[in-house]
Amino acid sequence: MNLIYHAKLEIERNEYNDDQAMFVANAFYHHANGNLSGGYNVEFLFDDEAHARELVETMADHEILPKLTVRNERYTVQLTTAECMCNLFALIGANQSLLELNNEIALRDLRNNTNRRINFESANLEKQIQSGIAQVERIKELDLEKLAPRLRQTALMRLENPDASLEELAKMLGLTKSGLANRFRQIFR
């Protein structure tokens, strides 16, 4: 969905009592373009610096903090954050577009948080498996008969459960996680 286009349609239906809001809405309608598919980016393109600077100052009065750059002899007023976009849509009265943008922000946050959690859990699982495999390899090199009975029991439990986490293994043995880690330190001395 093109929120820029929809916001422009909303501007056509709005009546403005505030001169600054009307100025920004007019600038948005005639000079704005952007893409919200990959990030938050709206640009206002001007041929003259005075109008671009006036827009920047007016937006700053409403807690919208754009960047002003010059490209190809044109002045670009650029918004690159979701917060600035929300403040802009609120100022110009593009309320439906503001709701849609907030929904998009919430969906992106949910997707990003889900991906972060999956990556975190995947990395932890990989680390757990590698640790278990390393312990099994080291245990196989030992003469288990020379270990104390409680240490032998721990070593055999690890051999039987190479994929188990320390927490899972500790529960199987009726130990705390730190107690189990201590036993492994004693085994591998």
For residue range 144-186, list pLDDT tens digits in order.
999 999 999 999 999 999 988 899 999 999 999 999 999 999 9
Residue 132 above 70 pLDDT? yes
- Decide if 188 contacts 138 (C-beta within 8 A): yes
- Decide if 139 contacts 147 (C-beta within 8 A): no
| Domain 142-187 -> CATH class | mainly alpha
Label residue 189 by pLDDT band (50, 70, 90). confident
Model confidence, pTM: 0.70
Q: What pLDDT does residue 37 have?
A: 75
Residues of the chain with CATH 3.10.28.10: 3-111
Fold that domain 3-111 belongs to in CATH: Endonuclease I-creI (3.10.28)
Beta bridge partners of 83: none
Residue 136, amino acid: V
Rounded CA separation 43/51 (Å)? 14
